[in-house]
Amino acid sequence: MRNLLPVLTVLAVLLLVWYGAAIRMNSQWTHDQAARAGEEVSFGALVADTLSQERPKLPAPHQVAAEIWKTTAELRPTSRRSLVYHGWVTLSATLVGFGIGTLAGIALAVGIVHNRAMDLGVMPWAIASQTIPILAIAPMIIVVLNSMGISGLIPKSIIAAYLSFFPVAVGMVKGLRAPDQMQLDLMKTYNAGGAETFRKLRLPSSMPYLFASLKVAIAAALVGTIVAELPSGATRGLGARLLSGSYYGQTVQIWSALFAAAALAAALVGIVGALERGVLKRMGMAR
Amino acid sequence: MTLVHVALVLAVWLGLWWLNTRLAAQARTRWLVPVLFGVTLLLIWELAVRLFGVSPVILPAPTAIWARITSSAPILWTDFVQTIVKGALTGYLLGCGAAGLTAIAIDRSPFLQRGLLPVGNFVAALPIVGIAPILVMWFGFDWQSKAAVVVVMVFFPVLVNTVAGLQAADAMQRDLMRTYGASYRQTLLKLRLPAAMPFVFNGLKIATTLALIGAIVAEFFGSPIKGMGFRISTEVGRLGLDMVWAEIAVAAVTGSAFYGLVSLIEKGVTFWHPSQRG
């Protein structure tokens, strides 16, 4: 708890800077309006106006908060303007993609650990695959799948899975190789076979590595889903909210979608973290 | 017919796989394994596209993509300069520089460290790509807004890693510096920064791919009529998939080269670290 005061101070400073920047960046518009009407603006009027414009260059924090409240609590969750609705569209694709990516990553890691040809052949290409910017792939995957008659959740999840498989694979390879020679030798003296060594030694000792990767992977899956929603001309999801807000200059909408995405990411990482603590505690590995 | 084709593709795959396991068993030929794996993928791709008559609108063959790369090299070069050299590279240098300086400032003040670091850790996990539309509105359509997106995206990973790295020198080494009567500046330059380098490079390597992604994503929110993101989104609309794949190939090669370059510098700078030995 001794971190609380510094964190709160930093947040307060950030908020203050934000308000200051909002007044500064939006003042241009206020001055223009006043000049057109042939009036002088007092400082009080300037502050009041810059913090309550409909399409500000930088919306003030309370405007964003009001928009979030309006679009989450006051609208029905099924409404097309509700952030809960758009958040759910994004979340479902993220979770499906995260699931696929995690399974693929673990499978790849098991293969890499047990097969030398896979280790030598696949790993460099798995690394190279991460240098391809996903966005280069996103529109194409969506167009290709669309032409095969698949649209909606699956294409977005594939991109999310593509982003999340790599951290899982790398972490899992490291984890499965974590048992040292002494422990492996002990298993051998117990006359344990390959499958048994895997189940009783390698798999349990990989858990801390796996969870560390899962936290990275779920955040990456969310980014992938949001990015996948951009080029597809989708009208649903947080990414689509960002894009339509950018087309129509609805800055408050962009910021509220951004904060919803941030909250979603934080919640997802938090859930995986809680799972991690629970599992490691049950296994007697909690630090 | 189709059955024969499937069998043929499978036979090629299995044959090359068998060759690969043979190569992997011998130390002398081991470097061939990843090369052969890549060749296998390309070969299967080409075979599948030709044998099953896949429409070029869905998946163009590698040879078709190569033909497109060679025939439209000038366009690819303009896009490369616009997106990678101007957008990504400028943003990368500015962002990493700013993050390094901030990390040292944080390191000097324990209060900032306890306050800013949790916030930085939190921000690093957020989908920062989403700020692209905002920054495009602020900085205009040209490469400046793309560089700004890249700056924000690479800032936090590098910051978090550098701060962690500055803690890496252990108490014994710091005490030794104190017994030498070294000032903060000397300790920083001669002990803490060198000790931090493995962490710093970890952040820098993560940032290479982020920089590319940021620059390309930002172009979806508005760009002049050049740039890789612009080209991809317009060519997808015109079903020019071979051009899209050509851009992807350029992006992949550049990304790998960028990553490889940073790794090479890392190898030179942190030659003393255990992970670089053996």
Distances (CA, A) of B185 to A151, B160, B182: 58, 21, 8
The verdict on a CB contact (< 8 Å) between B212 and A139 is no
Domain boundaries, chain B: 2-54, 69-276
Question: CA of A148: how far to CAs of A155, B244, B248, B277, in Å?
Answer: 11, 19, 22, 49
Q: Which of B213, B134, B133, B250 is nearest to A224 (CA)?
A: B213
Q: Can you give the pLDDT at residue A14?
A: 85
**Chains A–B, number of C-beta pairs less than 8 Å apart:** 167
Structural domains in chain A? 4-58 (no CATH), 83-282 (1.10.3720.10)
Tokens (6 digits) for A31:
């001055």
pLDDT value at position A133?
66
Are A121 and B236 in contact (CB < 8 Å)? Answer: no
pLDDT at A31: 78
Please state which architecture CATH assigns to domain B69-276.
Orthogonal Bundle (1.10)
Per-residue pLDDT tens over the stretch B217-243: 888 777 788 888 888 878 877 777 888
Residue A182 touches partner B, C-beta closer than 8 Å:
no
Chain B contact for A116, CB < 8 A?
Answer: yes
Report how many helices (DSSP H) and strands (DSSP E) chain A contains, helices first: 12, 0
The alpha-carbon gap from B115 to the nearest alpha carbon of chain A, in Å, equals 4
Distance from CA of A158 to the nearest CA of B (A): 17
The pLDDT assigned to A173 comes to 86
Minimal C-alpha gap between A130 and chain B (Å): 8
Cβ pair B244, B125 in contact under 8 A: no
Tell me, what's the pLDDT at A99?
Answer: 94
Contact in structure between B159 and B120 (CB atoms under 8 Å)? yes
What is the torsional sign of CA B151, B154, B157, B161?
negative
> Could B220 and A265 be called an inter-chain contact, meaning their C-beta atoms sit closer than 8 Å?
no
Inspect the interface and report whether the beta carbons of B111 and A261 lie closer than 8 Å: no
pLDDT of residue A104: 93
Q: Tokens representing B84?
A: 């990678």
In the numeric block, which tokens belong to residue B23? 């190569």
Per-residue pLDDT, A287: 57
Chain B contact for A125 (CB, 8 A cutoff): yes
Torsion A246-A249-A255-A261 (CA) sign: negative
Q: Cβ neighbours of residue A46 under 8 Å, at least 6 residues apart?
A: A23, A27, A30
Choose among B164, B97, B91: nearest CA to B128: B91
Pick out chain B residues at pLDDT < 70.
1, 275-278
**Long-range CB contacts for residues B229-235, cutoff 8 Å, separation at least 24:** B229/A135, B229/B83, B230/B79, B231/B75, B231/B79, B232/A135, B232/A136, B232/A139, B232/A140, B232/A231, B233/A139, B233/A231
pTM of the model: 0.80
For residue B277, what pLDDT is reported? 61
Alpha carbon A127 to chain centroid, angstroms: 21
pLDDT at res. A263: 87
pLDDT given at position A136: 61
DSSP-derived letter for residue B128 is G
Q: In terms of CA atoms, which chain A residue is nearest residue B60?
A: A144
pLDDT by position in tens, chain A (length 287): 667 888 888 888 888 888 888 888 777 777 777 778 777 777 777 777 777 777 777 888 888 888 888 877 777 777 777 788 888 888 999 999 999 999 999 999 988 888 777 777 777 777 777 766 666 667 667 767 776 777 778 888 888 898 888 888 888 888 888 888 888 889 989 988 888 888 888 888 888 888 888 988 898 899 888 888 876 556 788 888 888 887 787 888 888 888 888 888 889 988 998 998 888 888 887 65
Residue A78, chain B, CB below 8 Å: the answer is no
This model of the complex carries an ipTM of 0.74
Q: What is the DSSP string of A236-278?
A: SSHHHHHHHHHHHT-HHHHHHHHHHHHHHHHHHHHHHHHHHHH
- Give the Cα separation of B123 and B130 in Å (integer): 12
Rounded-to-integer distance, Cα B133 and Cα A52, Å: 21
Yes or no, beta carbons of B58 and A122 under 8 Å apart: no
pLDDT of residue A102: 94
Instruction: Please name the member of B131, B133, B252 whose beta carbon is closest to the beta carbon of A132.
Output: B252
Output b/e per residue, B129-142; b: 16+ Cβ within 10 A.
bbbbbbbbbebebb
What pLDDT score does A200 carry?
87
